[in-house]
Structure 1
Amino acid sequence: MQDYYQVLGVSEQATPAVIQIAFEGKLKALHQCPMNETERMAEDRLLRQAFVTLTHPARKTWYDMQLERDRAALTAMPPRWRAVAIVAMVTVGFTSFAWHAVDRSQERDRRYAEALRVEAEQAKVRAEAAVQLAQLAEAKEAREAEYALRREREMRYWIERDRNYSNAQSRYNEVASRNEWYSQRHYVLTEARTERYIEDRRQRSELINRYAAQAEVNRQVQWMENREAEEAYIRSDKHYRAQQEAAQIKAREAAELRRTNGLR
């Protein structure tokens, strides 16, 4: 059995971290070592198999048991049979190595075919990716063009909106100024009409008062004239009555005088 501890150059008590470091160092040294591709692939496969076995707890336990069993079997054999066993193991190892080489050659061919298949798939994937990238670039350009068109429409909309708002504001200010002028003019005219109405009422009141005063004066004059006429009438009536009474008195005196004279 192949000693994986010797392959990686670690002890049997090595931790997985130490095995990881040893595996990476061996792998790096293998790639830098001048050897043909077949040997390098075989060593690489052996290193990876040792690493996978020793880092997996269950596999490591089984491998340690098998390694201890092989060591115990070699120790318990007599020297002659031990030599025979060693020769047999060497023969088996050589045969195994030969089969392993054939297997590695077949594996290499399979890997090469797989690499070609993978490369073809990768080329196909790259072509599809290129097509997708072209489609994405075209879609991106279309989106950018649509976005630019949308931005231009939005800018025109906002410019038109600002222009309309400015025009509406100007019209509103103009209408407000005209309404303010009409309001002030109406206020001035109303105030003038109010003052004229007050002045007309004052003048009418003065005229009415003047007419009333003139009428009162006329009434007083008429009353005075009537009073004077009445007093004149009374005076003339008194004068007439006085004359009548004086005439009657004279007549009575004359009659009395005639009667007195006649009696004589």
Structure 2
Amino acid sequence: MRRVAGIRDIAAEAIIVAAGGRAILLQLAEPAVARGVARHSDFVAAPLRRLAGTLDYIYLVVYGTTEERDAARRHVEKAHAPVRSSEGEPLPYAADDPGLQLWVAATLYDSAMVMHDLVLRPLDPDEAERVYREYAVLGTALGMPGELWPATRAEFRAWWDERLAALTVSDEARRVAHDLLHPRAPGAPFWLRGVMPLARLVTAGLLDDRLRSAFDLPWGPIRRRLFRAVLTIARVAWPMLPTGLRHAPAVASLRRRRSRCAA
């Protein structure tokens, strides 16, 4: 059985990217995040660029040098600086709010582990605890105080379940989610639209019934069977792929970022 040393073994698996839609919708289910994305983000206009930017950040934080991690942090801080509500707005938000940074990092961690456990294998308790502790870096690299990250997986699960129960999907969140899952931006590549039905299926399948319904994602017996079939194929096929192919997005991202810095 393949041993997992830590976050570096998890984040390298490209199959984890398939849980990205779940992570984004969970983030949008926090009203303050949805308001900030709706008013300041170009997610909808440039979904691939934003996806690449998010992956670049994750890969640099996990695999980069200290200098590269610092550069990634400065880049994100600069991008996030104007993302804040105006004085007096009824729903205040700020991209550098430690609580929102915690929520975003938590959705990335939980979605990664859900996909890893479904397609590869559940981690043993020691592995899972080590990976969990290391995933805090996705928040702390942006300045989130480390003490905000729950100390153990058990504490995280209790906090997570409470946060999930309190989430409210706003009209704003539904609109952004719909646009993200049905890209119509001019110049969007044909292949992106071609893979979106599968992305919508996987995203809906990875959410619980309440959030799936709140986001108006279609679901039923046929989609449930299709989702299970996709997971079955992935479980069989993914471990058989060469490591170089499974890790290709991470390697390509690091090469792209390093070539830009060297230019």
TM-score by length of 2: 0.24
Bigger helix fraction: 1
Q: Between Structure 1 and Structure 2, whose CA radius of gyration is higher?
A: 1
TM-score by length of 1: 0.24
RCO (CA 8 Å, sep 6+): is it higher in 1 or 2?
Answer: 2
